[in-house]
Amino acid sequence: MRNLYIFICMVLSANIFQPATAQFQLEGYSYIDGSPVRVEIRDGKISAVERIEKFTDETNRQFIAPGLIDSQVNGFAGVSFSFAGGELTREGVRKVTRALWEKGVTSYLPTLTTNSHELLIRNLEVLAGTIDDEALLGSIPGFHMEGPYINPEDGYRGAHPRQHIRKPDREEFMAYRQASGGRILAVTLAPEMEGALDFTRHCTAEGIVVALGHHNAPTRVIDQAVANGAKISTHLGNGCANMINRHVNPLWPQLANDGLSISIICDGFHLLPEEIRVFYGIKGPERTILISDVTSYAALPPGEYLTPDGEAIELTSEGMLRYPAQNVLYGSASAISKGVVHIMKVTGCSLADAIRMASTNPADLYGLGDRGVIEPGKRADLILFTIGNDDLEIQRTYVRGKLVYEADRTGSKHP
């Protein structure tokens, strides 16, 4: 009888967090204009959206928006997609995904940074094996390679290991693409590297988004890269030497080229408020994408850590991740949800524009037409949240219509 009682409790508990039928409704303030809306979900997709006079639950104070899409996730919660310090496993990928769901991220591109050929092949194969993992609910549409084809000079290479930086190699990259199951959606490179412009043309023809990053390219080369198909600058203002010429540097031509969108890290450390305001003022919400550049050190306690290569990394109590050897940042320790609130504070932009930059724009850039907006026919990747002082306070996250995270008053997590 005791076993039967436990089984019944488990069934009842599961039904609390997963609808008994394939059809249900959510209500919240629209992220677009703050009006009350009801969203109907059927079989994992949005079937209807309607404005309503008032909520069924009159205590409801939550916004509803499409789930966040982060195209720069190097790792999270102790799991790295690139380093050799621990073997990447399917369970590790699941751990990252579950942790990101808690932050409102419903889709993301695992980002593999510069490393040895063997490690990149191995980890791409592991990641490719998770694409169809039903436990992930399609949260990983593909991958982003940041390097190894970047500028090897200190400052521009950032924390990328110099010994593994190399020139663009189409044959090598095709091996990476094969290992990924054809799911590399983006590659960040330095356009001034030998062969990079032809490589850009080749990748563009294959439908891969080429991003410019960790580079010191002059205007002529940047403009040619855009003409060859490059579409975006990766974390503009970072991956750049501390000391640059005030006139001749890679920032101005990227801002001036209307063919380039930009991604920026708005964690409060990577860019000064005035930099964000200038970048946003030039590119606007139409050509700006928020990313986190989050690393495996996110969600860990403050302290000093050693990378697998023996490099010292410091995670401060304020949440800054430092690489003291080069006096640069070592990626971010904050999820993209923090960037949504920070850019609203710094620029005065609306919630609608902030969500656009953190969801709609990356969906458009990376060909994820089934997500990024709340419209009938789209995936029911949705978040309900309130806005805190420095982060979104995620109350519930739905992926493909399934409740994957819920916070309650005691701080516990479901399901």
CATH number, domain containing residue 326: 3.20.20.140
| CA distances from residue 234 to 11, 96, 198, 307, 397 in whole angstroms, order as listed | 46, 22, 19, 23, 27
CA distance 339 to 345: 10
List the chain pLDDT tens, one digit each, 415 residues: 344 333 334 333 333 344 445 899 999 999 999 999 999 999 999 999 999 999 999 999 999 999 999 999 999 988 999 875 678 999 999 999 999 999 999 999 999 999 999 999 999 999 999 999 999 999 999 999 999 999 999 999 988 999 999 999 999 999 999 999 999 999 999 999 999 999 999 999 999 999 999 999 999 999 999 999 999 999 999 999 989 999 999 999 999 999 999 999 999 999 999 999 999 999 999 999 999 999 988 878 899 888 777 788 889 888 888 888 777 778 888 999 999 999 999 999 999 999 999 999 999 999 999 999 999 999 999 999 999 999 999 999 999 999 999 997 544 455 5
CA distance 413 to 253: 46
Classify residue 302: in a domain, yes or no: yes
CA distance 359 to 352: 10
Q: Which domain holds residue 84?
A: 68-365
The H-assigned helical ranges of 42-131 are 90-101, 117-128
Where are the extended beta strands (E) located within 165-311? Answer: 184-189, 209-212, 232-233, 261-265, 288-291, 303-306
Torsions phi, psi of 351, nearest 5?
-60, -40
CA distance 240 to 242: 6
CA distance 357 to 339: 10
* Helix/strand/coil for 61: coil
Q: Are strands 184-189 and 209-212 parallel, antiparallel or unpaired?
A: parallel
Classify residue 159: in a domain, yes or no: yes
Q: In 10 A of CB 40, how many CB atoms?
A: 16
Q: Which structure tokens are listed for 140?
A: 């990983």
* Count: domains in the chain: 1
For residue 189, give the nearest of 155, 225, 219, 161 by alpha carbon.
225
Classify residue 24: in a domain, yes or no: no
User: Based on C-alpha coordinates, what's the Rg of the chain?
Assistant: 21
pTM, rounded to two decimals: 0.92
CA distance 65 to 392: 12
349-370: pLDDT as tens digits: 999 999 999 999 999 999 999 9
Classify residue 408: in a domain, yes or no: no
Classify residue 332: in a domain, yes or no: yes
Task: Tell me the sheet residues that pair with 288.
Answer: 262
Q: Which structure tokens are listed for 99?
A: 């942790």
Cα 358 to the chain's mean position, in Å? Answer: 8
Classify residue 265: in a domain, yes or no: yes
Classify residue 3: in a domain, yes or no: no
Q: How many CA atoms lie within 13 A of 327 on its CB side?
A: 3
How many Å is the maximal CA-CA distance in the chain? 79
Classify residue 387: in a domain, yes or no: no
Residue 341 in contact with residue 63, Cβ under 8 Å? no
